[in-house]
Structure 1
Amino acid sequence: MRLDFDSQGKSVRVYDYCYRTLDTPDSEWSDRLTTTSSRGNIIAPLNVAQLYEFKVRAVNSKGPGDWSQTVSILVR
């Protein structure tokens, strides 16, 4: 799956993101993953026909921001 999100400006050093399955209530978030790009982040392997939830936050020289609202994506 490819994860894209809106860039938060030039002051951002990296972005953190996490994901989890939505098959069980309160499932654990993945380890925190880090990227320098808001576009073209490939997440694999994921299970086909599984619903996943994602969240992202920006990190700048003052530290990490708040986590975004979550978004749910069904893998095809």
Structure 2
Amino acid sequence: MEISQKNESRDALLNALRTLAHYVNEVANGQLSLLLSTGMVLASQPSSTQTPTMVEKVQLRDGRLSGQLRLDFTPVKAAWEYEVEIGTMASTGEITWNKVILTTSSRGNVLSEMEPGVRYCVRIRTRNGKGTGDWCEPVSLIAR
């Protein structure tokens, strides 16, 4: 009973602190001097001096199950997230891009619901507060 009371009290306190932080952010309206005057510890904002570079060393491999592909690539330091575009390649070599996924991870991305026997292409670009990087060269693999 004591543990459940502590957990309930903790949840109530966290909720009150979230509400307070939201209120302070609304009143300050982004003014750093007002935020600093509250005495609250500010979370550092992700910062970058330029648009992130292009993703390199993209690898597309078979997943553990049929209809899955695994995507890995070298992380880019200045990137906040990665935009992954998935498409299919026709027999003529033309790529039709039809699905976009956002991820913050550069390792172990599992692309599921792939139709076996179809050649899928993937290209990636980086994003941060300064903008969006260039698309990498597409890589392809036939789903099993």
Question: Above 0.5 in TM-score?
Answer: yes
Q: TM-score, normalised by structure 1?
A: 0.86
Alignment of 1:22-33 (within 5 A): 22-23=89-90, 25=92, 26-33=94-101
Q: How does 1:3-42 map to 2 (within 5 A)?
A: 3-9=71-77, 11-23=78-90, 25=92, 26-42=94-110
1:57 aligned onto 2:122: no
Structure with the greater relative contact order (CA < 8 A, sep ≥ 6): 1 or 2?
1
TM-score, L = length of structure 2: 0.48
The list of structure 1 runs, each at least 4 consecutive aligned residues, that deviate by more than 2 angstroms after superposition, is 23-28
Consecutive unaligned residues of structure 1, counting only runs of 5 or more, are none
The structural deviation recorded for 1:24 is 5.5
Q: How large is the Cα RMSD of the aligned pairs?
A: 1.5
Aligned length: 75
Give unpaired runs (5+ residues) of structure 2. 1-68
Q: Which is helix-richer, 1 or 2? A: 2
Q: Percent identity?
A: 33
